């Protein structure tokens, strides 16, 4: 049997269990050591923390209501602020989750993950490492590093304005030893555009072979940004191809599947809001963390229940029925290059003209099109390389 290898650059990130698990996000704290410029958490607080009682009530509710939560798998996610500030709480919650899933013979015991996205500052501490060792086979940890020191420190700063690059990067080798296939999550805002190429290369140099990078959805973009974005991506494309890095490294900015018209019958929302569940320190449920009070600047929070009374299915209904067509403006529906164009319902809601999730913000439209132009250039040039074996995208679910 021969082995056909698709180059790493063609890798699109495939979530665990193909994105079908139930995702439960505990907002364990609103505190963070950093004050990142683009952070959607607009109301950081040292006092708003989750109690174990709230977490326990949430876990008990979710495990008890099996008819409501019929997914075969679960992702228990811990978020903040900075979640590792509350590692002891997280440890206690995780132990409780494991005990209860096992005690109740719940199917989730056979298919669960603990998920973190962290600024990485506390990654190497003994308490965090103890937790990792204890749960290593069920853990997914993403450290947010934005790229080179100038790019990272332009946004990811301490309250006194000092950059956090050095403090984070010292933990990267340990992280990669423990999670060899980890990917980082890097965010691009207006100020970061000139640093995209060098940042991707820098992260690859650090050993992070899979880089997820996305532009922020918020309205931070200025008229010349699309050209700068395209220019950076083309420079990166040239470097990748000229140095033959495409076999071993991946970056989410390059994707074969973007830039196509969408099937008119494709009416799905971009993300899983409504199918996920976020819970804050008070025990209030939200369809996603972006609808919690600390994430919103212009609109009131959108709760869908709480851990004591359960989910309010009527409040959840709009999120379950949120379709692409109902929220998108007419130009988006007829867009010839719509595939891969992302949106965030939380951001949409916060920027809508009324209190609705059915109004899609299109601040990143021009950047999406710039990305497509750069991708067209990249893939066309790549196919001309002698060692690049073109393989059509596999249909989902089919093993070759």
Partner 1 sequence: MMFQYVLVILEKGAVPFCHYQNPHFYSTREPERMSLAILENVVEIARTNELFVNFLYGKQRLPPEYEKLIETVKHVKIMPLPLTTVYRDGIAVLDADDCDSLVEQDNVTYGNLILRVEKHNIADLSRLFRLLQGKCMRINIHLVGIEYFTESEIAIYEGELETISRELVKQYEGGKDIEVSLLSDRMLLSAMNNCDAGVKHITVAPDGKCYICPGFYYRDTTSDISVSLQEALAAPITNGRLLDIACAPICSRCDAYHCKRCVYLNLKSTGEINTPSGQQCIVAHIEREMSRIMANSLEWLEGFQELPRIACTPFRDPLQKVLRRNQSAPMATSGGRITARPESDGFLAKVFDTQQKILQLLQKNKEEKHG
Partner 2 sequence: MVKQQAGDCARQNQSYCDGKIVGKVSYEERDEIQVLFERKNGLVELVRSLAEADDEVLRNSHFYERIVADVGKTITSYQQWWSENARRYGWEKTEGYQWEINFDTCQVFLRKQ
What lies within 8 Å, CB to CB, of 325 at 6+ separation is: 267, 333
Sheet of 183-188, strands arranged across: 183-188, 210-215, 250-251
What does the block give as tokens for 22?
């139930």
Segment near partner 2 (CB under 8 A); pick from 60-68, 246-254, 262-270, 368-376: 246-254
The nearer residue to partner 2, 131 or 221, going by C-beta atoms, is 131
Chain-centroid distance, C-alpha 48: 23
Three-state secondary structure call for residue 74: strand
Rule CB under 8 A: is residue 11 a binding residue for partner 1? no
Rule CB under 8 A: is residue 313 a binding residue for partner 1? yes
- Going by C-alpha positions, the residue among 361, 374, 394, 395 that lies closest to residue 270 is 361
- At closest approach, how far in Å is the CB of 248 from partner 1? 16
Rule CB under 8 A: is residue 239 a binding residue for partner 1? no
What does the block give as tokens for 181?
């296939």
Rounded Cα gap, residues 142 and 129, in angstroms: 14
* Angle ∠(224,226,232) on CA atoms, nearest 5: 105
What lies within 8 Å, CB to CB, of 118 at 6+ separation is: 82, 83, 84, 141, 142, 143, 144
Rule CB under 8 A: is residue 352 a binding residue for partner 1? yes
From candidates 135, 303, 359, 385, binder to partner 2 by CB under 8 A? 135
Segment near partner 1 (CB under 8 A); pick from 55-63, 87-95, 131-139, 191-199: 131-139
Total residues in contact with partner 2, by rule CB under 8 A: 39
From candidates 20, 243, 317, 325, binder to partner 2 by CB under 8 A? 243
Which of partner 1, partner 2, none lies near 244, with the C-beta cut-off 5 to 8 A by kind? partner 2
- At closest approach, how far in Å is the CB of 25 from partner 2? 21
Which of partner 2, partner 1, none lies near 313, with the C-beta cut-off 5 to 8 A by kind? partner 1
The nearer residue to partner 1, 294 or 378, going by C-beta atoms, is 294
Total residues belonging to the chain: 400
The nearer residue to partner 1, 87 or 193, going by C-beta atoms, is 87
Segment near partner 2 (CB under 8 A); pick from 189-197, 198-206, 316-324, 337-345: 198-206
The nearer residue to partner 2, 248 or 309, going by C-beta atoms, is 248
Does residue 147 come out as left (phi exceeding 0), alpha (psi in the -120 to 50 range) or beta? Answer: left
Rule CB under 8 A: is residue 19 a binding residue for partner 1? yes
Segment near partner 2 (CB under 8 A); pick from 20-28, 106-114, 153-161, 327-335: 106-114
- At closest approach, how far in Å is the CB of 138 from partner 1? 6
Q: Going by DSSP bridges, is the β-strand pair 284-286/276-279 parallel, antiparallel, or unpaired? A: antiparallel
Rg (CA), the chain: 21
One character per residue 178-197, x = contact with partner 1 (rule: CB under 8 A): -xxxxx-x------------
What does the block give as tokens for 226?
């699309």
The nearer residue to partner 2, 244 or 325, going by C-beta atoms, is 244
Rounded Cα gap, residues 332 and 325, in angstroms: 9
Rounded Cα gap, residues 158 and 169, in angstroms: 15
Q: Going by DSSP bridges, is the β-strand pair 250-251/276-279 parallel, antiparallel, or unpaired? A: unpaired
Rule CB under 8 A: is residue 65 a binding residue for partner 2? no
- At closest approach, how far in Å is the CB of 182 from partner 2? 11
Chain-centroid distance, C-alpha 85: 20
- Binding region for partner 2 (CB under 8 A): 1, 3-6, 8, 11, 14, 94-95, 98-99, 101-103, 109-112, 134-138, 181, 201, 204-205, 209-210, 243-245, 247-250, 399-400
């Amino acid at each position: 049997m021969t082995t056909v290898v698709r180059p790493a650059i063609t890798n699109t990130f495939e979530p665990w269990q193909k994105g079908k698990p139930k995702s439960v996000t505990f907002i364990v704290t609103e505190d963070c050591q950093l004050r990142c410029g683009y952070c959607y958490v607009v109301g950081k607080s040292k006092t708003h923390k989750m109690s174990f009682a709230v977490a326990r009530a949430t876990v008990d509710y979710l495990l008890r209501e099996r008819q409501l939560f019929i997914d075969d798998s679960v992702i228990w996610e811990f978020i903040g602020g900075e979640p590792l500030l509350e590692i002891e709480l997280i440890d206690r919650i995780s132990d409780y989750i494991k005990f209860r899933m096992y005690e109740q013979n719940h199917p989730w015991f056979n298919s669960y993950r603990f998920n973190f996205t962290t600024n990485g500052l506390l990654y190497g501490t003994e308490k965090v490492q103890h937790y990792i060792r204890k749960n290593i086979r069920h853990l997914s940890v993403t450290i947010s590093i934005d790229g080179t020191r100038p790019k990272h420190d332009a946004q990811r700063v301490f309250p006194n304005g000092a950059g956090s690059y050095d403090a984070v990067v010292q933990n990267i080798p340990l992280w990669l030893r423990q999670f060899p296939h980890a990917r980082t999550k890097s965010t691009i805002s207006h100020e970061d555009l000139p640093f995209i190429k060098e940042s991707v290369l820098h992260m690859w140099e650090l050993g992070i072979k899979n880089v997820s990078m996305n532009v922020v959805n918020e309205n931070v973009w200025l008229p010349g940004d699309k050209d700068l974005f395209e220019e950076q991506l083309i420079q990166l494309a040239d470097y990748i191809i000229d140095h033959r890095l495409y076999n071993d490294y991946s970056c989410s900015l390059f994707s074969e599947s973007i830039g196509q018209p969408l099937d008119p019958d494709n009416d799905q929302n971009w993300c899983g809001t409504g199918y996920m569940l976020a819970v804050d320190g008070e025990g209030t449920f939200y369809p996603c963390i972006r609808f919690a009070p600390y994430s919103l600047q212009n609109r009131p929070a959108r709760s869908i229940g709480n851990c004591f009374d359960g989910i309010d299915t009527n409040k959840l209904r709009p999120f379950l029925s949120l379709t692409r067509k109902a929220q998108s403006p007419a130009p988006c529906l007829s867009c010839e290059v719509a595939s891969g164009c992302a949106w965030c319902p939380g951001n949409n809601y916060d920027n809508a003209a009324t209190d609705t999730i059915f109004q899609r913000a299109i601040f990143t439209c021009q950047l999406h099109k710039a990305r497509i132009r750069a991708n067209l250039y990249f893939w066309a040039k790549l196919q001309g390389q002698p060692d690049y074996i073109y393989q059509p995208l596999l249909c989902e679910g089919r093993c070759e």
